[in-house]
């Protein structure tokens, strides 16, 4: 597997695009930040305009070999690119590595033993969750059950073995939920077959602030913080269900049922109280019409009793 850095010119400003195993992430300058999956921000439904004189992707600035195989996205924080991967015939080892954004020089790599080895194949996830970065450092969740926090220099801060605490990760085809974060908390979602759960971890210490039940259905989506009136909700999407949690306590605030094809796409915030929800057509089953009905904008609002509700 390789990490490739491409140049992109917009007027007189030199930008960058990261290309990793077919996944792209944009960075405007060497000092830019892309701290988490989908950049952790809202998307726009407006068609972006192309600046006059803008050029497309250009020549390769640098390209480096990575250890093993990874299905996560790269993230960027102040001149460093962070990537995760897994290696070994039974994915025995996970890797978190840092590369200098300007020239691709490898700065460090931390290796993490997989507490749930499984034969590496196209039927299981391999370092699928994307990590998250902030001023403290980087937090990586590996689907075998390890959560690792390091400084930007690669020094260990804390490590949590979810298998030791909460039992085996018995999930069909593995997990891919990326780390979501608020200023103080990191959210890790384990939608396994038995007793699925999501935990909120103190980013400074790794202490578990709360743990609540997951959806109880198949999901390879990631949890997303969505702005609402007066704060934010933590939204989970999986096999027919869309639910909103209080990020401070894990309490369930609302649920939207009857969705179809929403096991993979991660909901994208559009702004206050709005989510763009997508669906896939699976493997060509005859339910694609119902799946298409799930594609749309969900509005989160107060109900007559002062609670919360969600509707298309």
Q: Tens digit of pLDDT per residue, the chain (312 long)?
A: 778 766 543 333 233 444 544 344 444 444 478 999 988 666 655 655 555 544 455 578 889 999 999 999 999 999 999 999 999 999 999 999 999 999 999 999 999 999 999 889 888 889 999 999 999 999 999 999 999 999 999 999 999 999 999 999 988 788 999 999 999 999 999 999 899 999 999 999 999 999 999 999 889 999 999 999 999 999 999 999 999 999 999 999 999 999 988 989 999 999 999 999 988 876 555 555 578 888 999 999 999 999 999 999
- Sign, CA torsion 179/242/260/167: positive
Q: Which residue has the tokens 């020239």?
A: 103
- For residue 47, the model assigns a pLDDT of 56
**pLDDT given at position 287:** 54
Position 14 scores a pLDDT of 31
Dist CA 80 CA 97 (whole Å) = 10
Residues composing the chain: 312
Q: Which residues contact 81 (CB under 8 A, 6 or more apart)?
A: 3, 5, 18, 74, 75, 98, 99, 100, 101
Give 28's DSSP letter.
S
List strands edge to edge, sheet with 180-181.
Answer: 180-181, 185-190, 197-202, 208-213
Helix (H, G, I), strand (E, B) or coil at 201: strand
Distance CA 84, CA 130 (A): 8
Q: What is the rounded distance in angstroms from the CA atom of residue 287 to the CA atom of residue 293?
A: 10
Residue 17's pLDDT is 43
Query: What's the confidence (pLDDT) of residue 173?
Result: 82
Tell me the pTM: 0.88
Give the alpha-carbon dihedral of 211, 217, 223, 225, to 10 degrees. Answer: -90
């Amino acid at each position: 597997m390789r990490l490739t850095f491409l140049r992109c010119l917009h007027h007189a400003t030199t930008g960058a695009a990261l290309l990793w195993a077919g996944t792209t992430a944009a960075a405007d300058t060497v000092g830019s930040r892309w701290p988490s999956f989908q950049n952790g921000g809202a998307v726009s439904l407006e068609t972006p305009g192309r600046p006059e004189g803008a050029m497309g992707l250009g020549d390769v600035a640098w390209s480096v070999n990575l250890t093993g195989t990874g299905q996560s996205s790269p993230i960027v924080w102040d001149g460093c690119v962070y990537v995760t991967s897994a290696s070994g015939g039974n994915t025995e080892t996970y890797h978190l590595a840092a590369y200098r954004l300007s020239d691709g020089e490898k700065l460090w790599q931390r290796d993490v033993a997989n507490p749930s080895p499984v034969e590496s194949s196209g039927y299981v996830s391999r370092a699928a969750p994307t990590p998250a970065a902030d001023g403290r450092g980087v937090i990586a969740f590996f689907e075998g059950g390890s959560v690792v926090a390091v400084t930007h220099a690669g020094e260990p801060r804390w490590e949590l073995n979810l298998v030791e605490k909460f039992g085996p990760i018995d999930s069909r085809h593995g997990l891919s939920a990326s780390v979501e974060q608020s200023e103080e908390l990191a959210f890790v979602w384990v939608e396994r077959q038995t007793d699925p759960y999501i935990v909120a971890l103190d980013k400074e210490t790794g202490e578990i602030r709360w743990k609540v039940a997951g959806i109880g259905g198949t999901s390879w989506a990631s949890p997303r913080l969505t702005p609402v009136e007066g704060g934010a909700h933590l939204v989970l999407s999986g096999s027919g269900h869309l639910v909103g949690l209080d990020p401070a306590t894990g309490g369930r605030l609302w649920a939207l049922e009857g969705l179809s094809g929403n096991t993979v796409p991660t909901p994208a915030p559009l702004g206050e109280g709005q989510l763009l929800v997508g669906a896939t057509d699976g493997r060509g089953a005859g339910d694609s019409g119902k799946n298409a009905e799930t594609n749309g904008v969900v509005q989160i609002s107060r109900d007559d009793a002062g609670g919360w509700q969600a509707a298309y």
